[in-house]
Amino acid sequence: MDEQLIQTVTDRAKEWLSDAYDAQTRKDVQAMLDKEDKTELIDGFYRDLEFGTGGLRGIMGAGTNRMNIYTVGAATQGLSNYLNACFADLPQISVVIGHDCRNNSRRFAEISADIFSANGIKVYLFEDLRPTPEMSFAIRSLGCQSGIILTASHNPKEYNGYKAYWDDGAQIIAPHDHNIIAEVGRVKTSDIRFEGKPELIEIIGKEMDEAFIEKLKTISLSPGAIQKQSALKIVYTPIHGTGVHIIPACLRAFGFNNIIPVPEQNVISGDFPTVHSPNPEEPAALNMALAKAKETDADIVMASDPDADRLGIAIKNDRGEWILVNGHQTALIFIYYLITRWRETGKLKGNEYVVKTIVTTELIKVIADRNGVALFDCYTGFKWIAAIMREMEGKMQYIGGGEESYGFLPEDFVRDKDAVSSCALMAEITAWAKSQGKSLYQLLMDIYVEYGFSREKGISVVKKGKSGADEIQEMMRQFRANPPKEIAGSPVCLIKDFSTCVASNPQTGEVSTLEMPEKSNVLQYFSQDGSKVSIRPSGTEPKIKFYIEVLGEMKRRDDYDATISKADDKIKAVMSSLGL
């Protein structure tokens, strides 16, 4: 083990034994120092938590690399300092604070409220847990300059997080993120103003819920179909999280009256007692909802993650079997429906656009192109979709945007992915399809027949701690130094390296510049047969992620199984080409 590293983290940890820290924190740090195995000490102190694609996120506990009242406090003090500098001319700066169901989330939210108010900033604090998208809506609705939500989204129960938002209701990006990090870096524990000013803290709740739902009703495109299918059987689970009340309320407001709960998962708990991981991307997270769907012969299953920004769905195939729909397919269904209904209702005027992330299925571009709708590609993380929305505001009309990791946003008055509106809209799409004599599964098949077939696979390689971060860095270096010449037998014809924002054709030597807002540690390889491979380290978890997409052709619905089998064989060949 690196002796210099151990000495560095030991020195950092000893600073946490001073009277500036509470008794329990000092006790926890001393226990780490006393242990012969220094792994926990290193992981807790080898770095400071930083804002990534999802803000501040980490395991709860003592240490500079952990979520605790001091790292949250420093983040809030640094953000307060920055807000006071940026908006010095305003008579009153204000922020919104929300939180999810996680252990310590309410505590972190209340401590943050105290710190903001101690710095003269007006705070709108939600009375109880609320979805991330509602917090984004509240920033815009109340005219605030910033907002935070305490959540680790879909991460395991050991984690918590802190997402910071700007005045447009979107997650903070450059230059503000770097400036805030610099401010936070200058904050000493003794600088954190923990003594709040109660007169600057206002509790909000039901009135914001009502305003949010009322606004969400305006995105409905097929009220007639909902009226016909109001008894649609919808199984919904919040997986112990913030969607528990507001998503059923929103579904009812849209006109659906047959919402079937999963009672065991309606229990609000940061321990997520019925699941290993509260992530709708994980098949096991939907097991209880699927059992309920079979029992009730439901039309659709929907699940949201703990902060209700991600949506997972399951549908019945033509054999009556329940199948999980991946994030690419969900985004595909949304974009297809929105563009189709905008066209059918005369809303397409020629200046509309949709957004997807660079790792999301290319079929979305095919649909957009054929319908004369502009498509913007952006980095992974919904803050980049929101950045395009901000740039296009007043110039072009937003239709919808999504990413493969189960996030979608069908409205422009929120600036983060939204499972509340997505649940309501997906139920509407199911009703719309049923009104035409189709199941949602058959609608997906028809999209493939009309626009082409794609099959996607995501692979995450977990590498924990400091050693894991080093391994991930070396893997990325190797892929850059030795890029594959072919993918599953098809020559690589385009390499995009977003760390330099350069695209190159290895066959012709042709080089071009990628127009992106900043550089990012992402690599993409495209082959002549249309296959796409994307590689990037996760911004929020100790993982390196591989995204594979292969194309195919479906002439009719019945070809689906055979087309999938062929595509899966090709994906295996792609994995072999990458050494996975």
- 3-state SS string for 236-253: EECCCCCHHHHHHHHHHH
Token pair of 183, please? Answer: 């401010």
pLDDT for residue 51: 63
pLDDT for residue 54: 59
DSSP at 326? P
DSSP at 307? T
* DSSP SS3 for 159: strand
pLDDT for residue 381: 87
- Cα–Cα distance list, 441 to 319, 334, 353, 445 (Å): 11, 13, 26, 6
Token pair of 120, please? Answer: 């003269």
Q: Nearest CA to 324 among 286, 275, 364, 277?
A: 286
Residue range 45-60: average pLDDT?
79
Query: What whole-number distance in Å separates Cα of residue 251 and Cα of residue 561?
Result: 33
E strands in 69-108: 94-99
pLDDT for residue 134: 98
Q: Cβ neighbours of residue 48 under 8 Å, at least 6 residues apart? A: 64, 65, 71, 184, 185
* DSSP SS3 for 509: coil
Given pLDDT bands bounded at 50, 70 and 90, which one contains residue 226? very high
Given pLDDT bands bounded at 50, 70 and 90, which one contains residue 469? confident
pLDDT at 8 > cutoff 60: yes
pTM over 0.85: yes
User: Which of these ranges, 166-180, 349-363, 418-432, has the smallest mean pLDDT?
Assistant: 166-180
Token pair of 406, please? Answer: 């189960």
pLDDT for residue 114: 98
Token pair of 338, please? Answer: 């929105």
* DSSP SS3 for 145: coil
Given pLDDT bands bounded at 50, 70 and 90, which one contains residue 1? low
At 232-282, the pLDDT tens digits run 999 999 999 999 999 999 999 999 999 999 999 999 999 999 999 999 999
pLDDT for residue 220: 98
Taking the alpha carbons of 76, 79, 81, 84 in that order, is the dihedral positive or negative? negative
Residues in the chain: 580
Q: Nearest CA to 405 among 236, 231, 534, 254?
A: 534
Percentage with pLDDT > 90 across the chain: 92
Check if 153 is active-site.
yes
At 145-192, the pLDDT tens digits run 999 999 998 889 999 999 999 999 999 988 898 888 889 889 999 999
Pick one of 3.20.20.140, 3.40.640.10, 3.40.120.10, 2.40.10.410 as the CATH number of 212-451: 3.40.120.10
Beta bridge partners of 52: 55
Q: Cβ neighbours of residue 149 under 8 Å, at least 6 residues apart? A: 97, 98, 99, 100, 132, 135, 162, 163, 165, 307
* DSSP SS3 for 174: coil
HSE-up (13 A, CA, CB side) for residue 324? 16
Q: Are strands 490-497 and 523-527 parallel, antiparallel or unpaired?
A: antiparallel
pLDDT for residue 49: 80
Do domains 47-204 and 212-451 share one topology? The answer is yes
Distance of CA 68 to the CA centre of its chain: 22
Q: Nearest CA to 302 among 336, 325, 271, 272?
A: 325
Fold that domain 453-578 belongs to in CATH: TATA-Binding Protein (3.30.310)
pLDDT for residue 52: 55
Given pLDDT bands bounded at 50, 70 and 90, which one contains residue 540? low
At 193-221, the pLDDT tens digits run 999 999 999 999 999 999 999 999 999 99
Beta bridge partners of 536: 545
At 294-352, the pLDDT tens digits run 999 999 999 999 999 999 999 999 999 999 999 999 999 999 999 999 999 999 999 99
At 87-124, the pLDDT tens digits run 999 999 999 999 999 999 999 999 999 999 999 999 99
| Domain boundaries, given as residue ranges, for the chain | 1-44, 47-204, 212-451, 453-578
What does 186-235 look like in DSSP terms, one character per residue? H--GGG------GGGEEEE-HHHHHHHHHHHGGG-S-HHHHHHTTT--EE
Q: Nearest CA to 83 among 91, 74, 93, 92?
A: 93
pLDDT at 3 > cutoff 60: yes
Q: Nearest CA to 49 among 3, 108, 100, 1?
A: 108
| Catalytic residue, candidates 153, 222, 454, 527 | 153
What CATH number has the domain spanning 47-204?
3.40.120.10
> What mean pLDDT is reported for the chain?
95
pLDDT for residue 56: 85
CA-CA-CA-CA torsion for 84, 89, 91, 92, nearest 10 degrees?
-30
